[in-house]
Amino acid sequence: MVKNAPRSLTLRERMNRPNVAGYVFILPFIVGLLVFTVIPFFTSLYLAFTEYNVLSPAKWVGLDNFRKMFYEDKLFWTSFWVTFKFALIQVPVKLTVSLLVALVLSRGTKLTSYYRAAFYIPSLMGSSVAIALLWKQLFAFNGVINQALGMLGLPSNQRWLGDPKTALGVLISLGVWQFGSSMLIFLAAIKNIPASFHEAAIVDGAGPVRRFFSITLPMITPILFFNLINQVIGSFQAFNSSYLITGGKPLNTTLYYGVHLYNRAFNHYEMGYGSAMAWFMLLVIAAFTALIFRSSSAWVYYESEGR
Amino acid sequence: MKRFLTLLLAALLICALAMPMVSAEEKTQLTILWWGSQTRHDLTVAMIEKFEEKYPEIDLVMDYSDWGGYWTKLAAQVAGGQTPDIFQMDYAYLAQYASNSVLAPLDEYMASGALDVSNVSENIIKTGQVKGVTYAISTGTNAPVMLYRRDVLNDLGIEIPMTPTMTEYKEISKKVAEATGLRSTFITDCSADILRFRLRNYGLNLYNDDASALGFDDPQYIVDMWQDALDAQHEGWGMIPGEETAATAFDSMVNDSWSRYQNSNELAAYRDATGLDISMVQIPNLDDATASATYLKPSMFWCVAQQSEKKDAAIKFLNFFTNDPDCFDIIGVERAIPISSEMRTHVSGNLDEVGQQVAAFIEYASQPGNASPLMNPDPTVHSQVAELLGQYSEQVRYEMIDDLLGTAQQFIEEANAILAAAQAAQ
């Protein structure tokens, strides 16, 4: 036998190479990713150029779906602007609220852990059907909110969910109510700021507001960036609250893009059109994400990069 | 040792997987899907268990859903190649599913007697036909009705006739609203179904014969409907948009309104769900009507999947449902009045008070003059036309539109365009 001559590996030796065990363990996840995400992803790209009513095979129609979307579907632009408005209002409000609450909780009193849990629970349950129905009853014409207002002597006959001016606000409030998860992340980031910074600033005579804007805020910008991107993507994909609470009414003021897509795809049996709408939204979200990434070099401060 | 254990476990696994396949050979397994309320689910499960007793070689795997999610579920199953062997079908969707070759034709089974329709009238069999081929068998006959709160009317000492005119309906609504605050959602509905009733009063239909255009061209019909709704809202007895508080259709009869348009076979479900004394009369006819708005229609159908490999067994179930007295002992008239004259006779002896009321109502509606002929099945794009009307109606109800006539005209043009495009695509 010649030593050190190259020969092919046996199966056992192949299986025992360093990374193979790792791959085998993540194989279930990879299979799931392929079957439930990657393959449908590319199938929908194909379907976006077809007419597909689910009961019969898809028929190629080229760019017809996109033409219909942009030029013929009145509700398409309506739903797009509603979703945009929803994201525009909800994201800053939610981020501000979570940051403020995180600041307060960062003081660390005895009850902090209870408050943390209490604020976090809504974000766990918030997108469930039960909470949506609860919200619907709360803001109903004779629901808890109106009755409480009545007891306080304030006007109590507002049609929260029936008035085109307030319906979207109700849904935004449901989103903002779920600020808990971003708050926890902010809390962790604030706690990570070295105390020495604040001590040095206090020695120099800086008040709490000045310290917030000059120390806390810059130090948490990476987390702010992370939360901002997450919230923006999530807001554009919103569906549950509108579908369960208002169904897009009144007068389409709560017609999310996702709900309109669902209507066209599942109620009108136009899966091709729905796929086209989905891909357009993908591009829009990608554009916004890219925009935020681009701007990040101007306002996000990474300690490690020592800018 | 380790090797031996591994091999043993592998062998056990293979046996466990193979076992079900061996035992399944002996029984034919069919999947069945239906929609309904809890009342219907309970009755249907009991009925299926009876069927399995009588036909022990058939095993039915049951699945059910509510009305809202049913069509998404069925479409998804069809798309995935998992069409249930037996499933419920509605008149509104029959043409669409038949034209997409999802449904198995039943004519050969009816001819051979496997599906015994000797006691079923030709008219009823025709309702399950698309282009002359029978794709579905009706489960029972029902009619659209106006459900109303009999307890409320009794308290106020008001009588409502079996065939109310619109004027009579409005008078009663006003009194009820004044006394109890319960308003009418029927008059403010303004959906495609309500428009259809009004058109039928004049002998017209929502769509023309081949569904290539609307069945009417005068926008005044729509304007009248909108005007009635607006007047009701202004006078305080019609539901103002946004003030509905009900989470479900059943709730709406408890808190929001005293009357509601539904199908006759739903009476039992509404009474059970709300616990109130609800009864029914015919849909109000317009004062200057020349024909009745009411029609007799199949409440729903049973269908067999075209791709099913066990059609013979499935037909046995359809036959059981149509002709077997044991089935109706359990189901009664929950899926509406049986189509076989034998079964109708059998059932009328066993009905409870509510069932008798429904049966009597259908008898009454079957008398000449109390109903007019059933319209053709709706085209596939009906959902788009209905949504379009719903959009305009909502704007009208929120009083965002001054020019009712112009808007109605616009709706007619756009609806005709949708129908023409669908016709051309076929």
Q: What is the 3-state secondary structure (H, E, C) of chain B?
A: CHHHHHHHHHHHHHHHHHHHHHHHCCCEEEEEEEECCHHHHHHHHHHHHHHHHHCCCEEEEEEEECHHHHHHHHHHHHHCCCCCCEEEECHHHHHHHHHCCCECCCHHHHHHCCCCCCCECHHHHHHCEECCEECCEECCEECEEEEEEHHHHHHHCCCCCCCCEHHHHHHHHHHHHHHHCCEECCCCCCCHHHHHHHHHCCCCCCECCCCCCECCCCCHHHHHHHHHHHHHHHHCCECCCCCCCCCCHHHHHHHCECEEEEEHHHHHHHHHHHCCCEEEECCCECCCCCCCCCCCEECCEEEEECCCCCHHHHHHHHHHHHHCHHHHHHHCCCCCECCEHHHHHHHHHHCCHHHHHHHHHHHHHHCCCCCCCCCCCCCCCHHHHHHHHHHHHHHHHCCCCCCHHHHHHHHHHHHHHHHHHHHHHC
Residue A9 has what DSSP assignment? Answer: P
Confidence at residue A229, expressed as pLDDT on a 0 to 100 scale? 94
Q: Residue A252 and residue B102: Cβ atoms within 8 Å?
A: no
Q: Are residues A138 and A190 in the same domain?
A: yes
Q: Residue B247 and residue A55: Cβ atoms within 8 Å?
A: no
Confidence at residue A17, expressed as pLDDT on a 0 to 100 scale? 76
Comparing CB atoms, the residue among A54, A136, A141 nearest residue B243 is: A141
Token duo for residue A182: 């971003």
Q: Are residues A22 and A154 in the same domain?
A: no
- Residues of A within 8 A of B381 (CB-CB) are 268
Q: Residue B79 and residue A54: Cβ atoms within 8 Å?
A: yes
Q: Are residues B32 and B79 in the same domain?
A: yes
> Low-confidence residues of chain B, pLDDT below 70?
1, 15-26, 247, 426
* CA atoms of B331 and B325, how far apart (whole Å): 10
Confidence at residue B17, expressed as pLDDT on a 0 to 100 scale? 66
Q: Are residues A235 and A266 in the same domain?
A: yes
Q: Which contiguous run of DSSP H or E holds residue A296?
A: helix A271-299
Residue B355 lies in a domain: yes
In sequence order, what are the beta bridge partners of B31? B61
Per 3-state DSSP, chain A is made up of helix, strand and coil in percentages (nearest 5) of 70, 0, 30
- Residues of B within 8 A of A136 (CB-CB) are 247
Domain boundary among the residues B333, B364, B395 is at B364
Residue B22 lies in a domain: no
Residue A129 lies in a domain: yes
Asked if residues B302 and B88 have their Cβ atoms less than 8 Å apart, the reply is: yes
* CA atoms of B163 and B292, how far apart (whole Å): 9
Contact B88/A at CB under 8 A? no
Q: Residue B75 and residue A54: Cβ atoms within 8 Å?
A: yes
Q: Are residues B164 and B244 in the same domain?
A: yes
Q: What is the mean pLDDT of residues A152-163?
A: 84
Q: Walk across the sheet containing B58-65 and list its strands.
A: B58-65, B28-35, B86-89, B301-304, B137-138
Confidence at residue A234, expressed as pLDDT on a 0 to 100 scale? 92
Residue A284 lies in a domain: yes
Domain limits at A34?
11-47
**What is the number of domains present in chain B?**
2
**Residue A17 vs residue B101, higher pLDDT:** B101
- Residues of B within 8 A of A161 (CB-CB) are 242
Q: Are residues B135 and B108 in the same domain?
A: yes
Q: Are residues A37 and A127 in the same domain?
A: no
Nearest CA-CA partner of B355 in B294, B293, B264: B264
Q: Are residues A98 and A243 in the same domain?
A: yes
Q: Are residues A17 and A151 in the same domain?
A: no
Confidence at residue A307, expressed as pLDDT on a 0 to 100 scale? 46
Q: Are residues A123 and A166 in the same domain?
A: yes
Peptide bond preceding A218: is omega within 30 degrees of 0, i.e. cis?
no
Q: Are residues A258 and A109 in the same domain?
A: yes
Asked if residues B298 and B223 have their Cβ atoms less than 8 Å apart, the reply is: no
Residue A297 lies in a domain: yes
Q: Is the pLDDT of residue A14 over 80?
A: no
- Label residue A279 by pLDDT band (50, 70, 90): very high
Count of helices and strands (H, E) across chain A: 16, 2
N-term to C-term CA, chain A? 61
Residue B283 lies in a domain: yes
* CA atoms of A207 and B180, how far apart (whole Å): 62
Confidence at residue A57, expressed as pLDDT on a 0 to 100 scale? 84
Q: Which of residues 304-363 of B touch A (CB under 8 A)?
A: none
Q: Are residues B280 and B411 in the same domain?
A: yes
Question: Under 8 Å CB-to-CB from B338, ≥6 apart: which residues?
Answer: B140, B322, B328, B344, B347
- Top residue of A54, A166, A246 to mutate, by most chain B CBs within 10 Å, is A54
Q: Residue A162 and residue B395: Cβ atoms within 8 Å?
A: no
Locus of tokens 């805020």: A217
User: What does the pLDDT look like over A203-213, one tens digit per residue?
Assistant: 888 888 888 88
* CA atoms of A96 and A231, how far apart (whole Å): 12
With the CA atoms of B78, B84, B86 and B91 taken in that order, what torsion angle do they form, in degrees rounded to the nearest 10?
Answer: -30
Q: Which contiguous run of DSSP H or E holds residue A130?
A: helix A129-138
ipTM computed for the complex:
0.79
Locus of tokens 């949506």: A132
* CA atoms of B358 and B89, how far apart (whole Å): 22
Q: Are residues B186 and B83 in the same domain?
A: no
Residue B17 lies in a domain: no
- Residues of B within 8 A of A251 (CB-CB) are 394-395, 398, 400
Residue B5 lies in a domain: no
Q: What is the mean pLDDT of chain A?
A: 88
Token duo for residue B323: 């002709």
Q: Which contiguous run of DSSP H or E holds residue A271?
A: helix A271-299
Residues of A with CB under 8 A from a CB of B: 53-56, 75, 133, 136-137, 140-143, 159, 161-164, 249-252, 263, 266-269
CATH number of the domain at A294, please: 1.10.3720.10
Q: Are residues A164 and A115 in the same domain?
A: yes
Residue A53 lies in a domain: no
Residue B13 lies in a domain: no
Residue A151 lies in a domain: yes
Q: Are residues B194 and B336 in the same domain?
A: no
Q: Residue A251 and residue B75: Cβ atoms within 8 Å?
A: no
Q: Residue A141 and residue B400: Cβ atoms within 8 Å?
A: no
CA atoms within a 13 Å half-sphere pointing along the CA-CB vector of B152: 25
Residue B295: count other Cβ atoms within 10 Å of its Cβ. Answer: 18
**What is the number of domains present in chain A?**
2
Q: Are residues B342 and B413 in the same domain?
A: no
Token duo for residue A32: 């799931």
Q: Are residues B160 and B236 in the same domain?
A: yes
Domain limits at B310?
27-141+298-364
Comparing CB atoms, the residue among A54, A136, A252 nearest residue B247 is: A136
User: What does the pLDDT look like over A245-275, one tens digit per residue?
Assistant: 888 778 889 999 999 999 999 888 889 999 9
Q: Are residues A34 and A71 in the same domain?
A: no
Q: Residue A252 and residue B245: Cβ atoms within 8 Å?
A: no
Q: Are residues B256 and B195 in the same domain?
A: yes
Q: Are residues B321 and B416 in the same domain?
A: no
